[in-house]
């Protein structure tokens, strides 16, 4: 196995592990922002490695495997993004409802 392949597999594992952590971390947590930035760095590094990999790899099966990994990571990331978006919307709605109740209560 070449160095590029080994590094790429490690980068894939790092991204996957980071996505797993983001699933469990509340979006309000400050650590969440740091991890998202780290995820962006890892993805940028992976893209650079993929460019190197594509330049040297001629085996269609290996290329196809990396494409599948990309799709899997992309799906996982989009599910996490949607889940976090839903949580933020729910929090926003609850906050508005609470403000309405406070307003009604203060007008009594």
pTM: 0.76
Over the stretch 13-53, which tens digit does the pLDDT of each residue have? Answer: 999 999 999 988 887 788 988 999 999 999 999 999 999 99
Closest CA to 76 of 12, 6, 7: 12
Residue 64 has pLDDT above 60, yes or no: yes
Domain count, the chain: 1
- Residue predicted with more confidence, 38 or 58: 38
Domain around 32: 3-106
pLDDT interval class at 67 (50, 70, 90): very high
């Amino acid at each position: 196995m070449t160095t590029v392949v080994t590094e790429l597999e490690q980068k894939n594992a790092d991204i996957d592990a980071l996505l797993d952590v983001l699933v469990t971390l509340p979006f309000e947590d400050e650590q969440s922002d740091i991890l998202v930035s780290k995820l962006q760095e890892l993805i940028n590094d992976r893209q650079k490695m993929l460019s190197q990999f594509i330049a040297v790899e001629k085996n269609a099966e290996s290329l196809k495997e990396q494409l599948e990994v990309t799709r899997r990571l992309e799906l996982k990331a989009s599910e996490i993004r949607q889940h976090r978006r839903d949580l933020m919307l729910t929090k926003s709605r609850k906050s508005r409802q609470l403000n309405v109740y406070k307003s009604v209560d203060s007008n009594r």
